[in-house]
């Protein structure tokens, strides 16, 4: 495989959608920095990429830690440059406003919102210096429509969507493109863990129920999300910035 000189950072690249994105970008010839709170998982993704002849390395990263993000990203920028940033790391929460503690709200904000802020801030400095770059933020259908019992999660993903618009607008003249992808329900280890925790006695029934909330009748796959991400990072998407791409089986527009 011919490797390009471009470097892509994928936060939360150790599993699920992040892992699929890291593998897909490596298959396109990018050098991929897999940044994850769980270094073991990151190295597993790295091994999968290496098996296919791709180029990748792993870094332990807590996106909520500003000092750590600055150090890790600065090191990557100095050694490789930063051409692509995928802000994928995130956590979820279930509950209405009355069921959401202040501590839980702060935890989601620190990862899902400030994590995007920390990573984008450092990456943009490197991208401005080279006058080029691509940032893809992983939002959610919860950014655009009301979903029951997802107060804190929806708050953070709404912020991700509007941060995307702001970054795209502010850095047009630095040739930095910023878009976001908004998945519906995607079958990942996160979904399996959610069902195991909340519905241990009827996992299959709930999986089927959740699948059918997408008009298309099933959950998406991580690879289907990764496909649109790799396109948005490619030269073919050079005319696209400040846009939101639902990958949701028709959830936002056809659920009526």
Active site residues: 153
Is the alpha carbon torsion for 180, 185, 191, 197 positive or negative? positive
Closest CA to 239 of 170, 163, 175, 162: 175
Q: Please tell me whether residue 151 adopts helix, strand or coil conformation.
A: helix
Query: How many whole angstroms separate alpha carbon 55 and alpha carbon 191?
Result: 29
Please state at what angle helix 203-211 crosses helix 189-198, rounded to 10 degrees: 130
Query: How many whole angstroms separate alpha carbon 9 and alpha carbon 175?
Result: 18
Query: How many whole angstroms separate alpha carbon 51 and alpha carbon 187?
Result: 24
- Structure token pair of residue 192: 């399996």
Q: Please tell me whether residue 95 adopts helix, strand or coil conformation.
A: strand
C-alpha count within 13 angstroms, C-beta hemisphere, residue 89:
32
- Structure token pair of residue 96: 């209405």
CA 81 vs. chain centroid, Å, equals 20
């Amino acid at each position: 495989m011919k490797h390009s000189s471009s470097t892509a950072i994928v936060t939360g690249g150790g599993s699920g959608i992040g892992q699929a994105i890291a593998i897909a970008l490596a298959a396109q010839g990018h050098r991929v920095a897999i940044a994850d709170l769980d270094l073991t998982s990151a190295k597993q993704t790295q091994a999968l990429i290496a098996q296919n002849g791709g180029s990748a390395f792993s870094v332990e990263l807590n996106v909520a830690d500003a000092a750590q993000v600055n150090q890790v990203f600065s090191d990557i920028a100095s050694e490789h440059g930063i051409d692509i940033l995928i802000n994928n790391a995130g956590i979820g929460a279930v509950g209405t406003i009355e069921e959401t503690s202040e501590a839980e709200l702060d935890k989601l904000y620190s990862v899902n919102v400030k994590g995007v802020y920390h990573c984008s801030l450092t990456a943009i400095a490197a991208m401005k210096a080279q006058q080029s770059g691509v940032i893809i933020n992983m939002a959610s259908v919860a950014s655009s429509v009301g979903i029951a019992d997802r107060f804190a999660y929806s708050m953070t993903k709404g912020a991700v969507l509007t941060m995307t618009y702001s970054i795209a607008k502010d850095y047009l003249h630095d040739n930095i493109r910023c878009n976001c992808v908004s998945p519906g329900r995607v079958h990942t280890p996160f979904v399996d863990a959610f069902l195991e925790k909340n519905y241990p006695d009827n996992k299959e029934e709930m999986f089927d129920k959740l699948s059918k909330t997408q008009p298309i009748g099933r959950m998406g796959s991580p690879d289907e999300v990764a496909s649109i991400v790799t396109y948005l990072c490619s030269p073919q998407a050079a005319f696209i910035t400040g846009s939101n791409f639902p990958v949701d089986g028709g959830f936002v527009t056809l659920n009526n």
